[in-house]
Amino acid sequence: MRFTCALLIGVLLGGCGQGHVVRNSEPLPREPALGLAIAVVRNGPRLAKIWPGYWTEGQPFAVGDSQSMIIYKPYGSVPPGYGAVPELTGYWVYRGVPPSLARSAADLHYDVGDTMVTAVRIDTSEAEALDLLFHEAFHVYQETQFGEGKRFTWGPGFRDTVPGTGQQERKLLRCATTAGDLDDVRRYASEYVRHRLYRMATEQDGIVQAEHLVERKEGSAQWVGMKMQGVVLGRTEPVVRQAIADLLDWEYPAQPVQMFADGLPFDHRQSLYATGAAIIELLSRLAPGPWQQTIAGGSPPFQVLEQALGDADLPRGTTTSEQDEVGGMAEWHRCGTNGV
């Protein structure tokens, strides 16, 4: 019966009855790609809440392993070259690794006949493949749903600013990200914003705007990837927060990579994935209203955080750099000793 059903699906371009409903209590299949795809679909309603409008229920996607490729596509035509997965409605299987995924672990626009889906290959681990899937698919969402943001000119002089840029800021951001109590989150976040505003006042506008751009584009994708990965893996909020905070331990390598993107050196740009994700995690706890829409509309996450905290929390222009450093270290010390 299974085989017949699969053939009929291939010919009729539609469903075969209602298929088999996968229940949460059922164990996942041993095939890594199929198991991962089912886990994603099972968690569809919870995933849809992370970033409204992104990853709607029934969203098609593809995930592969070394043996096969699975497409989840509950509507439309059969993907060319694919057969139905027995007893599972909406899942399609290709035996082997498609050429576009043989060279790269992700294909943002994988052609499945009547539409494009984001496809990833399980490379080092299933957890990493999940993060990659949600991160890269979010870039596809950004292509149509994110406004352009502020235009600016890349600034020269960034080489002087790169070593050690924002290390103190990142320590404070780490404290804010991992704090359990909302008052502590607000206090560390305010201190972080104060430090960063102080630094930004001394930076060229091109660097400040480039940081905003990368945090908005990559920080949001990083945050979405890690939050959704956490949902599928059943991780608690504090565990996901800790993982986001751990990204902030990034250290600049002794020998900087001589590459540039978005107007910034590679290492500097890379660190902004972490700061952007951490800032957005703070927004998810502190910001009132539809902050995702505000970011999509063009606002940098840091500015949204500044607004969410309100002017009263941000005494500025009243401290020297040394006082900032001492105050920041004291905050960091408290954060460290409190074990948050």
Binding site for Zn ion (CB under 5 A): 218, 221
Between 6 and 221, CB nearer to Zn ion: 221
* DSSP-assigned beta bridge partners for residue 93: 70, 83
Using the minimum distance from each CB to Zn ion, give the nearer residue, 137 or 304. Answer: 137
Q: Which is nearer to Zn ion, 213 or 221 (CB)?
A: 221
Beta bridge partners of 91: 72
Q: How do 61-64 and 116-121 pair as beta strands?
A: parallel
Shortest Å distance, C-beta 175 to Zn ion? 26
Cβ neighbours for 126, distance < 8 A, ≥ 6 positions apart? 32, 35, 36
In angstroms, give the least distance from the CB of 221 to Zn ion: 4
Nearest distance in Å: CB 225, Zn ion: 8
> Is the Cβ of residue 211 or residue 218 nearer to Zn ion in the bound state?
218
CB of 137 to Zn ion, least distance (A): 11
C-alpha to C-alpha distance for 18 and 41, rounded to whole angstroms: 16
Beta carbon of residue 148, minimum distance to Zn ion (angstroms, whole number): 17
Nearest-CB residue to Zn ion? Answer: 221
Residue at 330: amino acid letter? A
Residue 266's CB is within 10 A of a number of other CB atoms, namely 14
Hey, how many other C-beta atoms are within 10 angstroms of the C-beta on 273? 22
Distance CA 125, CA 103 (A): 17
Burial class, 295, CB count within 10 angstroms (exposed 0-12 / middle 13-18 / buried 19+): buried
Give 65 or 218: the residue with its C-beta nearer to Zn ion. 218
